[in-house]
Amino acid sequence: MSKRIALFASGTGSNARVLIDRFREHPEDGVEVVLLVSNKSTAGALMMAAERGLPTLVVKRADWTEGKELLRALDALRVDLIVLAGFLWLIPAYLVQAYPNKIVNIHPALLPKYGGKGMYGRHVHEAVKAAGEVESGITIHYVDENYDEGSIIYQAAVRLDPEDTAEQIAERVLRLEHGNYWRVVYGL
């Protein structure tokens, strides 16, 4: 039986794009991305999804607190896995309860370090650089009601050079995300 995924993205959506394209090009994987949800009407991820003819949904703050429209959409599309790909709002309790162990996230660092509120995007890589870390990496984890705290499914590391800039770290980590997220999602 195939797995039906809703992607949640607030930004560029490069991870979302990799997942959509991978699973479209490989129907034998038995994974179908059926919806892209964003909290930001100007998100690049929404345009990318629309270009691919994928249904999209923009959630507003008011609906997010209760989630009626969102839950209805997820239910109507028979979504069985929610994949966060650069989604910045905290996932509310009703969603965690509606999809227990069925929501995953990717974080661009080796959790539990460099996670939590405010640790996203370049803030993560700048903190890694400032701390003089010799490695960074990615963490794919289940989502609970706190930022970046659910149980870890997969981690992969990259070695860092002292000369690496935060931008260079970001690029290498993002490449690692693109190579691994779909694989882990496929295996769930």
Contact residues: ligand GRF, CB under 6 A: 9, 11-16, 85-86, 106-108, 174, 177
CB 83 within 8 A of CB 8: yes
CB 174 within 8 A of CB 125: no
CB 136 within 8 A of CB 109: yes
What minimum distance in Å lies between the beta carbon of 108 and ligand GRF? Answer: 4
What minimum distance in Å lies between the beta carbon of 44 and ligand GRF? Answer: 7
What minimum distance in Å lies between the beta carbon of 75 and ligand GRF? Answer: 25
Q: Which of 107, 123, 141, 178 is catalytic?
A: 107
Name the closest residue to ligand GRF (Cβ).
86
Residue 89, φ and ψ in degrees, nearest 5? -85, 145
What minimum distance in Å lies between the beta carbon of 127 and ligand GRF? Answer: 14
Residue nearer to ligand GRF on the CB measure, 19 or 73 = 19
What minimum distance in Å lies between the beta carbon of 86 and ligand GRF? Answer: 3
Largest CA distance in the chain: 50
> Does the active-site annotation cover 107?
yes
Residue nearer to ligand GRF on the CB measure, 42 or 62 = 42
Query: Catalytic positions, please?
Result: 107
